[in-house]
Amino acid sequence: MDYILKTGNISKIYPNGTIANRNVSLEVKQGEILGLVGENGAGKSTLMKILYGEEAPSSGEIYLNGQQVSFSSSLEAIRAGIGIVHQHFMLVPSLSLAENLVLGHEPVKERTRFFDFNTAVKITEELSKKYNLPVYAKARVVDVSVSMRQKLEILKALYRGAKILILDEPTAVLTPQETDELFVELKALQQHGHTIIFISHKLNEIFKLCDRVSVMRDGRLIATHVVADVNSQTISNEMVGREVQLHLKKEQAHPGEVVLKVRDLSFVDDFGIKMLNHVSFSLRKGEVLGVVGVDGNGQSELVQILTGSAATLTGSVEAFGKNITNSSQRAIRRTGIAHIAEDRMTTGAALSASIEDNLIADRYLDSSYSTKTGFLKREALAAASKEIVRSFDIRCGSPRQPVSSLSGGNIQKVVIGREFTAKADILVIAQPTRGVDIGAIEFIHQRILEMRSKGKAILLVSSDLQEVMTISDSLIVMNAGRISAYFEHAEETTDKELGLYMLGLKTQTSEEIRRALHEA
C-alpha cells in the first residue's frame, strides 16, 4: 500500500501514570480521507498532537513518505507538510481574514518593511480561488459566518504548505447546507492530492465523506475499515466496547402549563452587534423546546440572560409567574431554574476542585449540608456526592479527585448530575453533548427524556441538528438574533429545512412565529 503517513507502536505515558496511547499503529494512505472515531479519552487527540509535534511519544516511530521523522514542535510538523484545524478556531476576531491568514508569515513592502495589507489580500483571494474556499479577504473575522471562519482555518494550513490536513470536529457548528458545502470542498482538496484525517463524533458524516475509518478505544487502535464494508452499529459498538442503542425510545409529550415567559428580549455585545432582537417565546411543563441556529446568532446570549450571567437591554423574563428579569444567578436558581452551561471547562465546572465540591456547588447553603453557624456537613455532602456519582455513572476513582482528571464525557456527567438533582423545575440546557462520545451521548439523551417525563420544562440549545430533532418536542430557529421559525411539533420539519431558516434563506410569518408564545 502507498501510505503517506504511518505510526509504529506509538505509546504515550504521562508522568502521573496516565496511558493515553498504547502501541498505536495507524496507517494513512496517500490522497485518502481517513475518518478517526472514538470516545472521549480514547487517545485520538493525543495521537494527533504527536503527529503535529505538540507532544512527544513515550515510544514508537512516525514515518512520513517512508522516512522516519521526529517533530519537536508544531513548526517542524508544518514544515514537513502536516497541518491541523482545531475544533476551536485559532483566529483573532478584530483582524481581517487576510491578516489572520498570513499571521506569522506576513508579506512586507520592500522599501518600508511595513506590513503589506494589499498583498495579504491578494494572497488570500488567490488561495481562496485555487482551492474553491470562498472567503471575504478584507472582512473582519468577527463579522463573517462560522463556516467562513472554518474555511479560513483550512486556508491558513494550506498557505503554510500542508499536504496532510487533520480536521478536528470541523462540522460541530455548521448547518447541513454548510456541512455539505464543506464536504464538496474537502473532496476537491482530495482531488488536488491532499490527504485528510477527519475526526468526528457524527458517524453519518464519516459514512458520507470518508474512504476508510479507524476506531480507537482506551488508547488503542481497535480496527480500520473500508467505510463501504461496515455500518454505524458496528463502529458504535467498537468505539464503546458494548452494544449501543442508536435509536432513542421517546414517548409522546403532553405539555402542561406555561412556566417560563420570555418577552421582547434584546441584547448588544461588546462589538456593538445586536445579538438578540426582540425575542419572545414560552416554555411549558413536560416539554423539551429546542433552540437551533448557527453559532453566533443569539443562542448563547439568550441562555446567559435566562440564567443571570448577562443583562437584557429590553424585555422581560418571567418564571412561575415571578419576574426574574436581570436577577442574580442565585436568585434565578432559587426560583427553580437549573443550568447546564455550554462550556463545561470554563463555566460549567471548577476544574481544580474535587468532583464532590463541584456536585454540591449550588447547594452548600442548604440546611441539609451546612449548619446554622456556616460549617459544612461533610458526611452528608460525601453521601450525596457518592449517590450522584453512582446514579450518573461518573467514572472516577473517588469523588475527592479533581474534576480535571476526568475525561470530557465524565466532566459533562458531573455537570448534568449536579443540575439534574438540583430540585429545579426548569432546565436550561446548552450544548449537552458537544465533544462527547457516543456512549455518553446515549446516556445524556436518556436522562433528558427522563426529566421531561417527570414534568420538567426543558429549554435545549444545541448546534447538533440531529440531537435537537431527536430530543425536542417543539422547535425554535434563530437567525441574526431573531426567531425565524417555530415548529409546534419537531417532526414537522427536516434538517435541510431547518438549515434554510438557520441561514436566513427562509423565514416564517410573524403570525406563525407568534404560536411560540402559547397565548390564548
**DSSP state at residue 253:** P
CB atoms within 10 A of CB 374: 8
- 37, 41, 6: which is closest to 24 by C-alpha? 6
Which positions of the chain have pLDDT values less than 50?
none
How confident is the model at residue 520, as a pLDDT?
A: 58
Cell of 228: 463501504
* Separation CA 216–CA 251 (nearest Å): 34
Predicted TM-score (pTM) of the model is 0.73
Are 502 and 291 in contact by the 8 Å Cβ rule? The answer is no
* Separation CA 100–CA 94 (nearest Å): 10
Contacts (Cβ under 8 Å, ≥6 apart) of 67: none
Contacts (Cβ under 8 Å, ≥6 apart) of 174: 146, 147, 150, 182, 294
Tell me the β-bridge partners of 337.
Answer: 426
* Separation CA 115–CA 104 (nearest Å): 11
How confident is the model at residue 245, as a pLDDT?
A: 67
Q: For the chain, give the number of residues.
A: 520
How confident is the model at residue 246, as a pLDDT?
A: 63
* Cα distance from N-terminal residue to C-terminal residue, the chain: 68
- 236, 240, 213: which is closest to 34 by C-alpha? 213
Model pLDDT for residues 58-79, shown as the tens digit of each residue: 999 999 999 999 999 999 999 9
How confident is the model at residue 362, as a pLDDT?
A: 85
Secondary element (H or E) of residue 157: helix 146-159
How confident is the model at residue 1, as a pLDDT?
A: 53
